[in-house]
Structures are given as C-alpha cells and as structure tokens.
Amino acid sequence: MIYPDTQLFIDGLWRDATDGRTLEVVNPATNQPIGRVAHAGTPDLDRALDAANRGFDAWRDTTPADRSKVMRRAAGLMRDRATDIARLLTQEQGKPLTEANAEAVAAADIIEWFAEEGFRVYGRIVPHRRDLAVRQMVLKDPVGPTAAFTPWNFPINQVVRKVCAALAAGCSMIVKGAEETPASPAALVRAFADAGLPPGVLGLIYGNPAEISSYLIPHPVIRKITFTGSTAVGKQLAALAGQYMKRVTMELGGHAPVIVAEDADIALAVKSVGGAKFRNAGQVCTSPTRFLVHKSVAHQFSTALARHAQSLKVGNGLEVGTQMGPLANARRLAAMADLTRDALEQGATLLVGGERIGERGNFWAPTVLADVPRSARVFNEEPFGPVAAIRTFEVLEEAIVEANRLPYGLAGYAFTRSLKCADLLARRVEVGMLWINMSSQPSAEMPFGGIKDSGYGSEGGPEALEAYLNVRTVAVTNA
C-alpha cells in the first residue's frame, strides 16, 4: 500500500493547511521520507474551533441510539480496513504488522463498547427531604467541545479512546495528532466520517505542538482537555488548563515495576513480561521497566529473560516474522545508549544486547541488565525503549517500597503463587493498573490511567465518560 500524504480534517472536509505548509514523515526502519503531513496555522485552528462549536450543537441533540449507530458503523469500517491501516501504521511508526493490525482491530472493539456505554449515561431522581411536591433531578450533560493531544507510540489506540469517550457523552472533539505518525489516525477519523458523523463533530489537525496547545487550551470554545504523553509536558498543559478552569484528563509517563516473588512461576513471568517489555520496542507507557526479583530466583529469571530477548527477530515491521521493530527516531537510540552506558559504569552486568543494530534505521538490540544499582538512571528515568533493568530483593516488603519509591504510578506487574502475597501487592503497590501473574491486558470496559505523577482520570470503563459530563442539579415544584 502506497503511503499517502495526510491533510487536516476540518468541518467534515479533508484540506491542506491555509498557508500550504507541510512536514516530512520518515519511516523509522529506513530513515527515509515516505510522505508529508499538513501543518496547521492559526486560521486552520480558528476554522476547526468554529466547526467543533457547531458540531457540538448538533451532536449533543443527537439521541444516544443515533450516536451509537454512527459509532458502530465506524467500528465496522475499521475492522474491514484493518489490514490496509496496519501497513500505514507500520510504515510510519515501525511496529511489526501483527502489532499494528492488532491495534487497528482493537480500535473497532473500543468503538463498539463506547457506542453501547453511551446509553448508560444516567441521571437520577432524589426525593426531597420535606416536600413531596418538589422533584429533584441530577442531570448529566456533555461538557462541550474538547481537545485531545495524542502521542506517536500508539497513534490509533490513544486517539480512539479519547474520541469514543467524547462522542459517547455527546461532545465534539478536535484531535491534535502526532506529526510522526499522521496517516493511521487519519484513517481512524476517515472511518468515522464515512460512517456518517456530522461535520464538525470530529476534527484532526497537525502542526507545532506548543503553538497548537497554547492556542486551543485557553480558547473559550474548548471546555475539556485530554493529553497522553510525558509527565513534564502534561504538568505544563494541566497548569495552563487550570488557569482557565478547563477539565483535564492526563495519561502520563510511567516506570512500571515488576515484582517476582520467590514462589513465582518463572516460566510464566518471563513469558508475560518478556512479551510486554519488548512490545512496540519498549515504547509503551505501561511497559515493565524495573524488575525486582527475589534473590533466590534471580539467576533463573535473568537467564531466561535474556534468552527470550536474544531470540527476538528485530527488523522492518513489514517483513514477515519480525517480532520487534525500530525505535521512533535517532533520539531514542541515543537515549538507550546513554542509559545502558550509565548502568554499566555503575556496576550493572550486561546479559544481552546493549548496542545498535546496523547503520540503517533506528534498531536497538533487546537489552537485559542485571545487578542494576538503584542509583542508575535506568532505574529512575522512564527508558521508553527495549531495556530491562533487574535488581534483587530478599523480603517482599522491600520490593514494595522500591516499587513505590518513584513518583510514577501508572502500571505494575507481580508474580506469586500466594494469595496472601497477591492481596498485599494489590493493596500496597501504588499504581493505577496492576497485573498479577499475567501480562498487561487493558480493555475498553476497564479504567485506564495512573496515579501520582502518572496523571489522573481514566480513558477506559464507565469512568472515562464522567470527565466529558457536567453534573447539574435541577429542582422543580408543582406547588
């Protein structure tokens, strides 16, 4: 499939930027340009805002049943087009075709779930304390036009969660997509447009992230912000939104601990976190990164994880059999080299990997480091790449303290055969999502989000819709 140039989607139409500006899109597996994406300017943003305002007026008065029909048609189109969309995603982002196809198909599942959840936005009747002639109602109304800022690592998944929660609640949305990966979110938006979504309800723009966020967030049309990205940028956007009393959902960075207890099923642990660690070349906010392994099983676990990492086929995601693709850009390669070098200088042991593969493309060998000191950067900074750092513990409570040491609190993993230990971990590990004896398995019907510096709010489950709803009290008397 030929990679297309990507336009802006504003007021139901695909269009170039007003001033004709574009940005280059590069395939990270080859470092070669493959296309261009339109670069929005202020006139384009104004047009998108006006369209979103009008789109909201129409969509808020559309019944949940009619909203659901449009969304379900969009899900069907995503499923029908998944194979072609996956090729676009792999070309621009690098992940293997199997992962890209799974992301496109999962988008259809997410759309369908939210299409039905929109029926369950309920208010309630509350009896008055003293006067039966007073009818007290709690109403839930859509908050208004919203703005979404989305990343490059999951350019369909991170867009579809935001879009679907907004649409199910009755809101319009302007999506600011990632310039590195523009074609796959454009394919998602096209599915909604082809499904009959009214003009203005959903817009898609690209351009300078700082300029766009500083213009959209304060704008009086926008009433709610959702962002997925780094903690540093998220704090800046949340602070800006706070100045204008805008509601915010933040899904920010993580540094997921993995606790492997002495009674853990080691084969299960390696299979589960090995797959999760190197999925999307480790460029996953929920990726397991800090491996805390009981001293008695550390050698067995480390050896098995290193063997798993060494067995992975790294290459162009379009090639059959590829299990791990490239990093997004040269900056990520440099980051992996710096983190690995720092850990080794501080006494860590390199079990496998630790170097770039070839000179063409952004390929980094799956890396496993053992005996990593707590002071190493890789144990304190989110690596966002295919590097697993292991250190040991002797008492489970010691591992829990280490797991909670950092300000991050997005995801965590644990492996134990003991129900008592599992209960302790569930209560004490400070993360928004904890998977015990399994790999990460987020789904549309479950909350998705973090705590502490990993953000607040949810992009899954019924909780996701709450951020797009105003709760109002209305009291009526017939006296």
- Which residues have a catalytic role annotated? 251, 285
- The owner of tokens 């949305």 is 173
- The owner of tokens 């990726």 is 287
Q: Name beta bridge partners: 149.
A: 176, 227
If you compute the radius of gyration of the chain from its CA atoms, what whole number of angstroms results? 23
- Enumerate residues 6+ apart whose C-beta is below 8 A from 264: 294, 297, 301, 415, 416, 417
What distance in Å separates the CA atoms of residue 363 and residue 188, rounded to the nearest whole number?
28
Q: Within 10 A of 135 (CB to CB), how many other CB atoms are there?
A: 15
- Enumerate residues 6+ apart whose C-beta is below 8 A from 452: 407, 408, 409, 430
Q: What are the C-alpha distances in Å from 240 to residues 192, 212, 237, 244, 296?
A: 30, 13, 5, 7, 49
What distance in Å separates the CA atoms of residue 384 and residue 153, rounded to the nearest whole number?
10
What distance in Å separates the CA atoms of residue 383 and residue 399, rounded to the nearest whole number?
20
What distance in Å separates the CA atoms of residue 141 and residue 220, rounded to the nearest whole number?
18
What distance in Å separates the CA atoms of residue 156 and residue 71, rounded to the nearest whole number?
15
